[in-house]
Every structure is written in C-alpha cells, then in structure tokens.
Amino acid sequence: MLDVVDIQKILPHRFPFLLVDRITQIEKEKFIEAYKNVTIGEQIFQGHFPGHPIYPGVMIIEGMAQAGGILAFESMSEDEQSDTQDKVVYFMSIDKAKFRSPVKPGDKLVYKLRVIKHKGSIWVLDGKAYVDDKLACEAELKAMIVDK
C-alpha cells in the first residue's frame, strides 16, 4: 500500500534509522501491518555481534513504533494531515516487552500493530513483530503526537 518513498513523506526518519520498508495493510484507527527487510549491510551488525549477527531488540521496538506512527498520522483527518510536517510522534512508554526469537540478516521482519486505545493525541498500541509467522517480539507502546 505505501512504499518507502510514501513512508518518508510521513516519518522524519532517514537512513540508517528508517526501520520500515513498506506498509502492506492499514485500517485507520485500528490496525497496521508493515515490514522491514533485515540485511547484513546494516551498520548495526558491525558491532552486534561480529561473527554472530543479531538484530537488536531495541531496533525491533523502534520499527514497531515507526509503523505505529504511520498508523497515527494516516488516521488523522485530511485537514490534520496537511500539517504533518510540523508534527512528530514521541514515545511515552514501552510496556510488557518480550523478545521471543532472534532476528538475523536475511529475515523479513513483519510488524503488526493494533490500536488498544486512542484519545486525543495519545495512542496505545499492541505491537507484535514476526519472522516467517513466528513471534519475534511483542510490546505495548504508548505514544503522543506533538508539535515540533
């Protein structure tokens, strides 16, 4: 549905910190599915860990948060979307984070986020990340859309 060029129009993140390659499903105010192709060429693997590359859990959480930010922005009304360049999503909390299986170079990391609660500028999301339909990570994310 949205490719990386579309994503860059929504999120301020850029290489090497843009962690969403494509949005495959989105239902405003409810759900988003996105993915990131994890490759050995990523800078993070130079130090995590040489000879045994594992994609860091904190990067998985950040990728889920970026997908959640896209859901929040895409759920705005057309009037609100006109000023997204002046808005940014801030993390408020990460709860119930669990890492279930390692993510390695060559994996397609699929993010699935569901809205638990949305009130005003606050969003609470249930996030899960999968590799080949196997749960790799889960967390409850809380974020707020604020003016830059």
Q: Which of 13, 48, 52, 118 is catalytic?
A: 48
What DSSP state is assigned to residue 73?
H
What are the CA-CA distances from residue 20 to residues 15, 64, 96, 121, 143 (Å)?
Answer: 10, 8, 22, 22, 17
For residue 20, give the CATH number of its domain.
3.10.129.10
Number of independent structural domains in the chain:
1
Secondary structure (DSSP) of 53-69 = ----HHHHHHHHHHHHH
What domain range includes position 99? 4-147
For CA atoms 108, 65, 42, 103, the dihedral sign is negative
Pair 52, 40: CB distance under 8 Å: no
**Based on C-alpha coordinates, what's the Rg of the chain?**
15
pLDDT digits (tens, 9 = 90+) for 107-148: 999 999 999 999 999 999 999 999 999 999 999 999 999 988
What are the CA-CA distances from residue 1 to residues 24, 41, 64, 131 (Å)?
Answer: 5, 26, 17, 20
Q: What is the mean pLDDT of residues 93-111?
A: 98
Catalytic residue status for 48: yes
Spatial separation of the C-alpha atoms in residues 21 and 26, rounded to whole Å: 14
pLDDT digits (tens, 9 = 90+) for 1-20: 999 999 999 999 999 999 99
| pLDDT mean across residues, the chain | 94
Report the SS3 class of residue 108.
strand
